Amino acid sequence: MDVGFIGLGRMGRVMAARLVAAGHRVRVWNRSPEAAKSVEGAEPVDSAAEAFSGDAAITMLADDAALRAVTIEGGLLDSGQRPGVHVGMSTISVALAKELAAVHGRAGVPYVSAPVFGRPDAAEKGALNIIAAGDDAAMTRVQPLFDAMGTKTWRFGAEPEKANAVKLAGNFMLVSAIEAMGEASAFAEGHGIPGRDVLEMLTSTLFASPVYKNYGAMIMEGRYEPPGFTMRLGLKDVRLALAAGDAVNVPMPFASVLRDNLLDAIAHGDGDKDFAGLATVAARRSGR
């Protein structure tokens, strides 16, 4: 397929490389142009509008503001050439996804939301879990692209914003797992038991899942740099979950605790560490 790829951050560049490797023609664009050269075999183009064409265009940008700037404010949908499908893979708010769905509807461009679970190392192996929602035919058309980037695609119906809600729910559960490990670890240390021994046991047994194993290992080793995903980005996602819960009157007391503790971490200068470092807040508060 002929694909435009907009946004070559830590995730985007690896995902675009997977598409190249799978034999697709990939035109890439990034705000800072050096990044565009980083994807071997892809074809850098000069503007987002040029990348917004072909069989499909994929956007993978940092946040609501970046995606809004490029698409809505950047007038992408008013440009002459437009893609067969726009696949939005960024982690954004439910509200913006809804707005994008409406805008694309009016412009006659099919819009599929397809945020992913997985960190850069998973993306490199094409091992992402892709959460997709949107027009069924459009999703089917871009399935070969999903197959190049992910292990499995999970479809959540016709309204694109639902995929974003699912992504936020998953990230919320993920940060909750980190917090629970952090509190359990501080608790154990308070009783003279190395936190790592407790986490090692629990993540090998009841909690033997990727999330607990990966983040558990980071907490056990106290290794939060370099970050795979920073505390600031973690807070961004928790904020999005709170806002989306708020919009439909769902109290989320765990999410409220997460927000307060991430703020505490950032206030202590740890905003650019890996968000597994949330575990240090429980430790610090207990005087360690």
DSSP state of 43: E
Residues found in the chain: 288
Nearer to a copy of itself, 42 or 97 (CB): 97
CB 158 within 8 A of CB 133: yes
Q: How far is CA 180 from CA 219, 223, 225, 272, 280, in A?
A: 11, 18, 21, 21, 12
In the DSSP assignment, the letter for residue 158 is: S
Q: Which residues of 139-174 are buried (b: 16+ CB within 10 A; e: fewer)?
A: bebbebbbebbbeebebbeebbbbbbbbbbebbbeb
- Runs of H (alpha helix) within 113-159: 120-124, 136-149
- Least Å distance, CB 14 to a copy of itself, is 19
Tokens read off for 208: 């033997």
Supply the minimum distance, in Å, between the C-beta of residue 285 and a copy of itself.
Answer: 5
User: Nearest distance from residue 110's CB to a copy of itself, in Å?
Assistant: 21
DSSP-based three-state secondary structure for 197: helix
Which residue lies nearer to a copy of itself by CB, 79 or 214? 214
Between 30 and 93, CB nearer to a copy of itself = 93
Minimal distance, residue 95 CB to a copy of itself, in Å: 11
Burial class (CB in 10 A: 0-12, 13-18, 19+), 61: buried
- Choosing from 98, 125, 152, 167, the catalytic residue is 167
Query: Nearest distance from residue 182's CB to a copy of itself, in Å?
Result: 9
**At 94, which amino acid appears?**
V
For the chain, the straight-line distance linking the first and the last C-alpha, in angstroms and rounded, comes to 55
167 is catalytic: yes
Among residues 152 and 223, whose Cβ is nearest to a copy of itself? 152
Q: Specify the residue, 30 or 203, whose C-beta has the smaller distance to a copy of itself.
A: 203
Active site residues: 167
